[in-house]
Structure formats: C-alpha cells, structure tokens
Amino acid sequence: MALQDVCKWQALDTQGPSPHLPEAGGWAVPRGCDPQTFLQIYGPRLAHGTTTLAFRFRHGVIAAADTRSSCGSYVACPASRKIIPVHQHLLGTTSGTSADCVTWYRVLQRELRLRELREGQLPSVAGTAKLLSAMLSRYRGLDLCVATALCGWDHSGPALFYVYSDGTCLQGDIFSVGSGSPYAYGVLDRSYHYDMTVQEAYTLARCAVTHATHRDAYSGGSVDLFHVRETGWEYVSRSDAYVLYMELQKAPGLEQEQELEAEAAQVHPELATPQDAEEGGELSMEQEEATPEDSRIIAKTEMV
C-alpha cells in the first residue's frame, strides 16, 4: 500500500481547471438556509437587458451588440463593451450579469492560455465551449447569469457556440441573446444565408441590432460590430444606434432594389485592421458610418 494512501495525502491535481473561486455551496449564509433559497429570497435583483447577436457564414463569424448597460430603468453605462476578445481567434458576446460575464471570461482566458502552453495549441471552439459550460455548471442554481455566444475560427473553420450558465452548450449558425433578441431574430432570419458577402453580413448585423434597440427599452446606445476571420478577429465599427435607425428609415422602396444590388456589388475594401487580443491595448474605434454609400447598402437588406 503506498505511503501516501496510508497518510491520506492527496497530490494537487494540476490538470483540472483551478479557478480559485469559492466552492460552489461554500457561501456564508445564515444557519439553516441553503444558498439557493437564500439567494432567491434575499439576493440582489440584478436586472439584465441587452441585444447581442452572432452568426457564422462562409467568411467567418460576425458578432454584434448594443452598448447599453442597464440596471432596472437606470442606464448604468451607455457605451459599454459587450463583446470580449478571448484570444486572437475567439470572441465572446456577453449577456446577463456584466460582472459574471467579465469574471468568467477572464477565468476562461486563463484556462485557455494554460492549455495552449501545455498542449502547444489552443483548444478548438467546441472544446472551449465545453470547458466554459463545465465551469459554469458547477455554480448552477446560485444565481449566476451568463448567456454568451463564443465566436471563433479553428481548424474546422468558422465556429459558433452558445453557452448558458446552467450548463447549456449549443452549436448553431445564428444566435441572438438578450432582451432584444426576438427583434434581432426577426431581421436575421429574414436575410441570413451562409454564402453572404462580408459587406452583406456587416449590414445585416447592424440592421438587426438597430431594430432591436429601437423596440427594446434595455438596448440602445451604439452598435458594436466584430468580425472573426481566418487571420483573427477585427473590430469593424461602432455606430450610434439612432443614426443607423434613421438611415434605415430613409431607405428607398422595393423597385430600387435591383439598382442597389448592382451598386452594392462594387464593394468597398474592409475598413479595420486586425488587432492582437493578447496585447489587450486600446481598441481603435472606427468613425461612425454615416456615409451615403453605406446607407444604400444598409437599405439593400431592408427590403421586406
């Protein structure tokens, strides 16, 4: 019998995830209460409203979100960032409790970095989603609220996974998360197809978020747009939601759709440059997209 078995000494398990966070169930609650019931009755009421969306297509994965952080009817921050880079080929859209999302993304970044050092390569997006959902499901029932879409490019091409804090992990082509998601889904389902061009995809994403911000009280501010390509993620634009919506309203009618398609075929080159997530430095914000060409392209997908 090994000496360590006799002494009941357990070697540290360095292989598994070690978030150094409180044990699930290790909450300091009064005697006689279990953490779940306690939180249900006395826990803080964390309201969460947002619109985030992500979809994958031939040329990568698009992630878009509004920028309003609300706490009940109070706008805590009109210009928050809801799309978090994890590493050069992975972004996460966050919805739910901002604090939870940010914390868990930092934990995820650490775990991925450790695995990269150990294995010599980053895990696939499927593996990352599995990892995140496994970490979150340990805290199930303890009022964590993280609803996130992992958007990345790995050896299998563009990949998109939805992870929820109860442990749900789903693969899909389109996801929209948040209080504004029904409105975004309406627009997305109308015009999405896998073989879109990059400009069509940008326009579709902006259009979907803009319409959601128009109707949902908890979404608003600006529209952030990110694109994950084979070479990494890039921050495409941040545009004011109201300005975008007004442009959509000015869109010409159906009969001009043919013309616009011909014009839109002469597509502009991409506007942003790839950034390295690991540097974590300031992201340069693009100027607002209020150019006339853009409004025509936006209008193209507006046709009902």
Partner 1 sequence: MASRYDRAITVFSPDGHLFQVEYAQEAVKKGSTAVGIRGTNIVVLGVEKKSVAKLQDERTVRKICALDDHVCMAFAGLTADARVVINRARVECQSHKLTVEDPVTVEYITRFIATLKQKYTQSNGRRPFGISALIVGFDDDGIPRLYQTDPSGTYHAWKANAIGRSAKTVREFLEKNYTEDAISNDNEAIKLAIKALLEVVQSGGKNIELAIIRRDQPLKMFSAKEIELQVAEIEKEKEEVEKKKPKKST
Q: Catalytic amino acids?
A: 50
Pick the piece of the chain touching partner 1 (CB under 8 A) from 1-9, 31-39, 79-87, 259-267: 1-9
Binding residues for partner 1, how many (CB under 8 A)?
Answer: 15
Pick the piece of the chain touching partner 1 (CB under 8 A) from 60-68, 70-78, 116-124, 181-189: 116-124
Q: DSSP string covering 168-236, please?
A: -EEE-SEEEESTTHHHHHHHHHHH--TT--HHHHHHHHHHHHHHHHHH-TT--SEEEEEEEETTEEEEE
> What does the alpha-carbon distance between residue 77 and residue 12 come to, in Å, rounded to a whole number?
42
Q: Which is nearer to partner 1, 2 or 254 (CB)?
A: 2
The least distance separating partner 1 from the CB of residue 276, rounded to whole angstroms, comes to 25
The least distance separating partner 1 from the CB of residue 124, rounded to whole angstroms, comes to 6
Structure token pair of residue 70:
């609300």
The least distance separating partner 1 from the CB of residue 140, rounded to whole angstroms, comes to 18
The answer to whether residue 8 forms part of the interface with partner 1 (CB under 8 A) is no
Binds partner 1 (CB under 8 A): choice among 38, 114, 127, 143 = 127
The answer to whether residue 4 forms part of the interface with partner 1 (CB under 8 A) is yes
Pairing of strands 74-77, 69-71: antiparallel
Q: Please give the backbone phi and psi of residue 271, each rounded to the nearest 5 degrees, phi first.
A: -95, -30
Structure token pair of residue 202:
């940008």
Q: Which is nearer to partner 1, 53 or 131 (CB)?
A: 131
Pick the piece of the chain touching partner 1 (CB under 8 A) from 40-48, 56-64, 123-131, 178-186: 123-131
The owner of tokens 């695995």 is 115
Half-sphere exposure of 214 (CA within 13 A, CB side): 17
The least distance separating partner 1 from the CB of residue 146, rounded to whole angstroms, comes to 19
> What does the alpha-carbon distance between residue 193 and residue 280 come to, in Å, rounded to a whole number?
33
Q: Are 165 and 146 in contact (CB under 8 A)?
A: yes
Pick the piece of the chain touching partner 1 (CB under 8 A) from 27-35, 118-126, 259-267, 285-293: 118-126
The answer for residues whose C-beta is within 8 angstroms of residue 199's C-beta and 6 or more apart is: 264, 267, 268, 297
Binds partner 1 (CB under 8 A): choice among 39, 75, 110, 124 = 124
The least distance separating partner 1 from the CB of residue 50, rounded to whole angstroms, comes to 28
The owner of tokens 């868990």 is 104
The answer to whether residue 45 forms part of the interface with partner 1 (CB under 8 A) is no
Nearest alpha-carbon partner for 149 in 164, 167, 130, 134: 164
Nearest alpha-carbon partner for 208 in 90, 63, 49, 85: 63
Pick the piece of the chain touching partner 1 (CB under 8 A) from 127-135, 173-181, 257-265, 285-293: 127-135
The least distance separating partner 1 from the CB of residue 116, rounded to whole angstroms, comes to 12
Site for partner 1 in 129-188 (CB under 8 A): 130-131, 134, 155
Q: Which residues are near partner 1 by CB under 8 A?
A: 1-6, 119, 123-124, 126-127, 130-131, 134, 155
